[in-house]
């Protein structure tokens, strides 16, 4: 009997598990690794450091239960070995960030499809439970707020590069669900809604690190469009708790869960909030989408998760409010010298 079953039957943490986190040097992955190590588990991360960074996991290196492998997941034999050595797998490696997606669509599509195919096949060969990280982006332009997991996905045309991200992650979801339905391999899908916190970089477009960096440097805060579009920002510690809770639970195998916060804020208000919390004198400027992302860009006006399903499954509710979330990002940026772009 393996440690997964012993832990479940005996309801004890004595039987530590070994987790593999793909993309474990990324923003969410590094926080997930830390949380698992903190509760006594063993963690291996694989990351090619393309968007993740060694700095994100530097603090974990001393821990004897931590191992990092800098390599591409497309090295199938290596990936197979790492999957075999683990009890459960979190698949977080992906091309993310609207800027990256718009500028490098080939890389986005190939990474998001290829890596998920490989890791699902490897996990299912050995019947290892695997959580696939997906995104609220899959809801696309749907206006059925709040977004429920069983709601329709409303994507734009293939001529608009942004939708390749949603579409590639939707295929990942289909594949994960198919592995459960057809082969009884235990899979789970988590749709993360705008996760933010320390270590997130603004390099790939994410709004909070961009606004905070701009405010701290005294540069104009760039609100795209008219700033009336809204998002629900989730602190990374809430996202990580939800992901671990889903993995630990016997419920929800073969299913999709929204992971996020339902506290909604418009981007123009977010800019004002960041300016106030940083005590910055930056101007708030409005930048047309065309200038930010090119001619064929489409944004979504609102994005709010229904948290009913995850609440019912594992009792999840977000704990960190928006101001605390923003303060944690501001403190992180202040700790970096110079404040990154």
Binding site for ligand UDP (CB under 6 A): 98, 137, 194, 205-207, 210, 222-224, 229, 231, 267, 299
Half-sphere exposure of 307 (CA within 13 A, CB side): 19
What whole-number distance in Å separates Cα of residue 96 and Cα of residue 51? 8
Contact 172, 307 (CB under 8 A): no
What whole-number distance in Å separates Cα of residue 186 and Cα of residue 127? 7
Nearest distance in Å: CB 26, ligand UDP: 15
Residues whose CB is less than 8 angstroms from the CB of residue 320 and which lie 6 or more positions away in sequence, other chains included: 235, 237, 238, 261, 328
Q: Which is nearer to ligand UDP, 30 or 194 (CB)?
A: 194
Output the CA–CA distances (angstroms, integers) from residue 279 to 208, 212, 282, in the order listed.
16, 11, 9
Nearest distance in Å: CB 202, ligand UDP: 7
Q: Which is nearer to ligand UDP, 123 or 274 (CB)?
A: 274
Q: Which is nearer to ligand UDP, 242 or 314 (CB)?
A: 242
Per annotation, catalytic residue among 5, 19, 139, 165: 165
Q: Which is nearer to ligand UDP, 36 or 223 (CB)?
A: 223
Nearest distance in Å: CB 279, ligand UDP: 20
165: annotated active-site residue: yes
Nearest distance in Å: CB 288, ligand UDP: 11
The distance of Cα 267 from the centroid of its chain, to the nearest Å, equals 20
Q: Which is nearer to ligand UDP, 137 or 172 (CB)?
A: 137
Nearest distance in Å: CB 30, ligand UDP: 19
First to last CA, the chain: 50
CA angle (66, 68, 74) in 5-degree steps: 140
Residue from 264, 261, 260 nearest 301 by CA = 264
Which positions are annotated as active-site residues?
165
């Amino acid at each position: 009997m393996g440690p997964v079953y012993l832990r479940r039957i005996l309801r004890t943490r004595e039987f530590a598990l070994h987790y593999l986190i793909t993309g474990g040097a990324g923003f969410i992955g590094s926080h997930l690794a830390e949380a698992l190590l903190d509760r006594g588990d063993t963690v291996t991360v694989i990351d090619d450091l393309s968007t993740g960074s060694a700095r994100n996991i530097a603090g974990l290196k001393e821990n004897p239960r931590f191992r990092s492998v800098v390599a591409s997941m497309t090295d199938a034999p290596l990936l197979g070995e790492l999957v075999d050595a683990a009890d459960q797998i979190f698949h977080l490696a992906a091309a993310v960030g609207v800027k990256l997606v718009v500028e490098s669509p080939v890389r986005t599509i190939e990474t998001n499809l290829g890596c998920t195919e490989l890791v699902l096949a490897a996990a299912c060969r050995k019947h290892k439970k695997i959580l696939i990280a997906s995104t609220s982006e899959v809801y696309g332009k749907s206006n059925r707020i709040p977004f429920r997991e069983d709601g329709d996905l409303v994507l734009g045309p293939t001529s608009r590069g942004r939708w390749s991200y949603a579409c590639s992650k939707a295929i990942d979801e289909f594949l994960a669900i198919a592995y459960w339905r057809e082969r009884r391999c235990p899979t789970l899908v988590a749709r993360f809604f705008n996760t933010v916190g320390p270590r997130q970089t603004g390099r790939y477009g994410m709004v909070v690190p961009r606004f905070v960096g701009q405010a701290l440097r005294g540069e104009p805060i760039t609100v795209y469009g008219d700033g009336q579009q809204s998002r629900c920002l989730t602190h990374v510690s809430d996202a990580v708790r939800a992901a671990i809770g889903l993995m630990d639970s016997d419920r929800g195998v073969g299913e999709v869960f929204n992971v996020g916060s339902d506290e909604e804020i418009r981007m123009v208000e977010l800019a004002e909030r960041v300016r106030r919390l940083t005590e910055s004198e930056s101007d708030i400027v409005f930048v047309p989408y065309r200038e930010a992302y090119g001619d064929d860009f489409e944004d979504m006006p609102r994005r709010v998760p229904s948290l009913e399903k995850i609440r019912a499954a594992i009792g999840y509710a977000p704990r960190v409010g928006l101001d605390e979330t923003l303060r944690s990002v501001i403190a992180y940026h202040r700790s970096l010298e110079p404040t990154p772009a």
